Structure 1
């Protein structure tokens, strides 16, 4: 029997099990450029010179760091791709990495692949089928993005290049995710390295390199950052089609490495072996609280360091914003349209703190969802068979899912303006934006409460929290560009909270949302005590 026997069947099975995952990602990413193009005339009214508004952004370090290099910002297509194309490409990479790990290591970890391999299925067929499914998804993303973007009236060639840039980044991270799925023995570790370490590391490096501007001595380092290859294709700006060879070649090499690694490891094992534990352990590790810390410590430390360091890095990039605003008053008008205030410093720090609040909520949900995964894998039953109560088990995870992300968010608010404060000798900025973060804490706890409520009463629907967070990210990044009703934009965890110092403090909203968050946590705990385990 060939090692690829049954690949077609595995492809069909993977498509059947993951069609919703891919459909939501493809539709969500493909709509970004068309929606932005539809609102271009709102930002640049017809008959006006776009250079008056957009030229000041060309060399602004903060905008370059956030959105990537500028090639032809004064055309509609060039502006649209610069505004959201790089962001869509990066998210496509996350989609590819999560998708391939979901279809390979996660399936193996849950025991499904072992059942399938008991039949007439070759050793490499599951991986080949998953890779084929991911390739089709990336091609579909490229095609839908290109067609949808071209339908807005943008040039067809540039639209095809934009779709290819987004799809190629997804394909590249499919290869990275496939290798990580062979290296680590759990889907959790594979996702951490593919998305956290590699994707997150590339994103931070890209911000540093691009923020320095095209004249920096190390500007050419962007060619060594795979996350940036899609942008360097230059859609709508004299496209460089040969750049597509970089992600495609990298994908082919990574796939070859993944197949080779799969041939050398045992089923359920990873090439990166988990270290053996100590022969003895302190007494505090013997209960549910110590077990939760042992399970969550890597996640907590990784997320905490990443958020604080990323925040400090973004703040260092913005250390020149006062100079940029003084030299280019049009930038204030641009920011007023896109960020809600003409004060560049306030707009940036408030917006970035809001984004980081959503990321901290993702951290909190990731920590708490471990309570559900322990139940699915049968580990919770073993713990509950001892003297440990359900309340203690749930609280042992909530201990890390609520206070730690809240502390991290406050640290983010304090770390972001540090460089600016040092440069201006104005340390009151640290206190100002620490208060910004403190004012957003009820939204973070509300997301955790929603996750606990679902785990307690509707555990199969915990994925709804990720939809809520996705909507929040859309509202933070893109809703200001569209004529959406204000009530709809505010329909998210941070929509009614005051974003200091831009808004006056609203203690009523703060108190009501805090009470609602605590009520959701309590109701979730009640449901967890009453329902069957496993559910």
Structure 2
């Protein structure tokens, strides 16, 4: 007589799946953690070198508190110590990186597993219903804990107070955990990993923007160089990171906010998991029409259909940003004309192009839009890899359409989409700026030129994506985003981080003329176009000769 086995629990197999998840992420998560930690170390070193005395730090912060644009990009300054100034320089960016690391990992190990059938195959074994979600949460939370510890050790090793160092590391780690929960819910709601990643990315972006508005409209403290954030910062997970105020009071109780969001989000994710079928989302994908439109019979039309939703979302974002930038001309001129420290900071952000303060401000803001455009190009050119892994490209290539035509459709849409984004940004900023000065024609032409000068450099990270897609397709996502982040750090933030010029020159963003603060030169633009075309062509050639890899 055999003894009946114990009933399988909903969490059965969690430990084994956690080990499996760790093995799958043995490269990507360490890169995220190490890169974020290195970014803190470099930024802190640059801050110490640029502002060695308290008087230097106070002078810099007095110029910053009057600049809504700089506060929108950073966070509210809380003190003049090296640690507090370092947190003003980098804390928000660390929180954003932790958010993206967490959301991408969660979706990859939940919704993505269901989308490609891995979850169903694993579920056929002795594995409980909650095991996959539990393993993904444990691994992602563990990555955030390791990140928090390494950030803390980096700050302590640089000579900063232990309490503030722990507060800074815990704030970033807790923010990552909050976005872990948001991504866990998104993975239950959406039916595709692309949609889930989109929801999570929007959550990170909105949190950054809301936090920025709260800091931009904050109230200057009597000291004249610190700021009390307005209420929007308190409804943003990224805003909570700054409200911990490392090295300026260490408000530990604020950590309860992201941890509460984490607990609530995880509870919702488990509840949704129990009420849906494997492979299905709470919001079912809409069925398409019975007959496809004629434009879908060619690669360009198909690529446009796949990319149009992303492009429209990016267009809305850059248009709103362009309008905001265009409306700040009077604020910048009146608030910063007597602040030499702010002038220096904005000039460094604009690439040192010279010119008056307003022109340097617009050059710096167009550099931000150029980076956003490059992010769109990378995202758009990752779609061919998704089509390959999901098995759809084989059906397309089984027809008379060749590989070059199929990939070329995505290349055209990505490049044209980048031009459209820059056009909307330049036109919206130029129109609002021109209306405020009474010279619409001149300002419109000026801002459109300042936007379009970023197109060649924005395409180079996309060329890298195509090259990796053709040569080593399984590395496309990781290397593609890593190339973009490295280009951004070296080019856009290299001067602020005080990196050597040869290191900054590695980034295509370092060679863009800082219009309208500087004169346009054709050579770097022509070279950037040649590099983007050459790298993309090489990737296309590699793709023609390799097997389809799922």
Aligned to 1:435: 449
Structure 1 residues 323 and 227: CA distance shift in structure 2, 3 A: same
**Partner SS, residue 511 of structure 2:** coil
Which digits, 9 at most, give the CA deviation of each residue in 1:1-22, with x for residues without a partner? 0000111111111111112221
The 2-side partners of 1:443 and 1:47 are apart by 38
Which digits, 9 at most, give the CA deviation of each residue in 1:317-352, with x for residues without a partner? 554110122232342244456654464323332223
Q: How does 1:367-406 map to 2 (within 5 A)?
A: 367-406=380-419
- How far is 1:23 from its partner? 1.0
Aligned to 1:153: 159
Structure 1 residues 318 and 4: CA distance shift in structure 2, 3 A: farther
- How far is 1:280 from its partner? 4.0
The 1-side partners of 2:410 and 2:350 are apart by 36
Aligned to 2:101: 95
Alignment check: 8 A CA contact 2:103 2:197 kept: yes
Are 1:255 and 2:266 counterparts? yes
Aligned to 1:347: 360
Are 1:467 and 2:447 counterparts? no
Structure 1 residues 339 and 516: CA distance shift in structure 2, 3 A: closer
Are 1:44 and 2:57 counterparts? no
Are 1:425 and 2:438 counterparts? yes
The 1-side partners of 2:532 and 2:487 are apart by 17
**Partner SS, residue 158 of structure 2:** coil
**Partner SS, residue 382 of structure 2:** helix
Match of residue 176, structure 1, among 182, 185, 203: 182
Alignment check: 8 A CA contact 1:308 1:415 kept: yes
The 1-side partners of 2:500 and 2:304 are apart by 43
**Partner SS, residue 39 of structure 1:** helix
Aligned to 1:312: 323
Structure 1 residues 153 and 418: CA distance shift in structure 2, 3 A: farther
The 1-side partners of 2:38 and 2:326 are apart by 30
Structure 1 residues 338 and 188: CA distance shift in structure 2, 3 A: closer
Alignment check: 8 A CA contact 2:210 2:232 kept: no
Q: TM-score, normalised by structure 2?
A: 0.91
Structure 1 residues 36 and 301: CA distance shift in structure 2, 3 A: same
Match of residue 36, structure 2, among 29, 39, 42: 29
Q: TM-score, normalised by structure 1?
A: 0.93
Aligned to 2:223: none
Structure 1 residues 356 and 333: CA distance shift in structure 2, 3 A: closer
**Partner SS, residue 154 of structure 1:** coil
Which digits, 9 at most, give the CA deviation of each residue in 1:239-283, with x for residues without a partner? 211111111011001000000000101011000111222344432
The 2-side partners of 1:201 and 1:482 are apart by 26
Alignment check: 8 A CA contact 1:146 1:159 kept: yes
| Structure 1: segments with no counterpart, 5+ residues | none
The 2-side partners of 1:50 and 1:169 are apart by 27
Which digits, 9 at most, give the CA deviation of each residue in 1:131-185, with x for residues without a partner? 0111111111111111101111111111111111111110000000000000011
Match of residue 536, structure 2, among 521, 525, 528: 521
Structure 1 residues 317 and 32: CA distance shift in structure 2, 3 A: farther
Structure 1 residues 340 and 402: CA distance shift in structure 2, 3 A: closer
Aligned to 1:359: 372
Structure 1 residues 227 and 54: CA distance shift in structure 2, 3 A: closer
Aligned to 2:17: 10
Match of residue 71, structure 2, among 59, 64, 78: 64
Are 1:303 and 2:314 counterparts? yes
- How far is 1:187 from its partner? 0.6
Aligned to 1:138: 144
The 1-side partners of 2:55 and 2:214 are apart by 32
Structure 1 residues 37 and 11: CA distance shift in structure 2, 3 A: same
The 1-side partners of 2:361 and 2:316 are apart by 21
Are 1:291 and 2:302 counterparts? yes
Aligned to 1:484: 499
The 2-side partners of 1:162 and 1:178 are apart by 25
Q: Tell me the number of residue pairs that the alignment of Structure 1 and Structure 2 aligns.
A: 533
- How far is 1:417 from its partner? 4.8
